[in-house]
Amino acid sequence: MSDSLQIGTRSSDTAVRVIRKDSSLMRVQAVLLRHLYLMRASWPRIFELMYWPSIQIVIWGFFTQFLLTNSSYVAQAAGVLVSAVLLWDVLFRAQLGFSLSFLEELWSRNIGNLAVSPLRPIEFLGSLMIMSAFRTLIGILPATFIAILFYEVSIYELGLPLVLFFSNLMIMGWSIGLMVCALILRVGLGAESMAWLTIFLIAPVSAIYYPVDILPGWLQSIAWCLPTAPVFEGMRAILFHQGFSLELYLHSLGLNAIYLAIAMGLFIWSYHVARKRGLLLQIGE
């Protein structure tokens, strides 16, 4: 469906005749072009397209490999997978809760109001952490009751160590959330999808559903450099009646302190750059 319309010519010698075409195809092209321009200008958007399939295949590939050699794994400790899912969700919700609270301020163009107020960056980060804990509890508590009701698996049977696992995962979630916010401050809202997908980058090496031992040697080294792997190993140690491992807890806590310090440093640096470039009032797609 296209018919040509010719309109308006200028009187000067250099005039260019404007030729218009009523074309659905061109309008569709325009919309495609708008999104392709956006995608081309934002590497996180392209990265996201490749990200999920790769992460899924890595996690479930390792898990399948593990089950092939340890078919009695789940039978030995009822609820190990359900507990792993719940604790993983603590980490995911903590990070997402932190990043989303920050993104809400950008989406509503309220970040300028906060920046031009007596609110200090450290107070802002503190409030995001509290909001993250609040959002996590709202998300996780119903799920824990569903697990008890439908699967007779109570994560609360982990006892006091549950509080330690929970706090370690929360801190790791905040660290990743801080890094995501720092990235968004640097490159703009084009990186907002990072809030949902960054956490899954560490999922394969966090030993959520399978022990660290199942990973190739070089990945095991990476796993032990993350605070998450000791938490999930610690959870399995309790569920397999090996008791609470103080060593694993301190390992995780120490790494968390390092990650949190790095993440805060990154955020403060990004905030400084944003102030230097005037991005705080202009952050957008």
Which residues of this protein are in contact with other proteins, per CB under 8 A? Answer: 104, 108-120, 272, 275-278, 280-282
Nearest to other proteins of 35, 277 (CB atom): 277
- CB of residue 40 to other proteins, shortest distance in Å: 22
Nearest to other proteins of 35, 109 (CB atom): 109
The residue count of the chain comes to 285
Nearest to other proteins of 20, 109 (CB atom): 109
The tokens 């993350």 sit on which residue?
226
- CB of residue 227 to other proteins, shortest distance in Å: 32
Nearest to other proteins of 141, 281 (CB atom): 281
Nearest to other proteins of 104, 285 (CB atom): 104
- CB of residue 174 to other proteins, shortest distance in Å: 22
b/e per residue, 149-166, with b = 16+ CB within 10 A? eeeebebeebeebbebbb
- φ, ψ dihedrals at 5, nearest 5°: -120, 135
Nearest to other proteins of 121, 211 (CB atom): 121
- CB of residue 210 to other proteins, shortest distance in Å: 42
Nearest to other proteins of 241, 276 (CB atom): 276
- CB of residue 115 to other proteins, shortest distance in Å: 5
- CB of residue 282 to other proteins, shortest distance in Å: 7
- CB of residue 125 to other proteins, shortest distance in Å: 15
Nearest to other proteins of 107, 145 (CB atom): 107
3-class SS letters over the chain? CCCEEEECCCCCCCCCCEEEECCHHHHHHHHHHHHHHHHHCCHHHHHHHHHHHHHHHHHHHHHHHHHHHCCCHHHHCCCHHHHHHHHHHHHHHHHHHHHHHHHHHHHCCCHHHHHCCCCCHHHHHHHHHHHHHHHHHHHHHHHHHHHHHHHCCCHHHHCHHHHHHHHHHHHHHHHHHHHHHHHHHHHCHHHCCHHHHHHHHCCCCCCCCCCHHHCCHHHHHHHCCCCHHHHHHHHHHHHCCCCCCHHHHHHHHHHHHHHHHHHHHHHHHHHHHHHHHCCCCCCCC
- CB of residue 123 to other proteins, shortest distance in Å: 10
Distance of alpha carbon 198 from alpha carbon 203, whole angstroms: 9
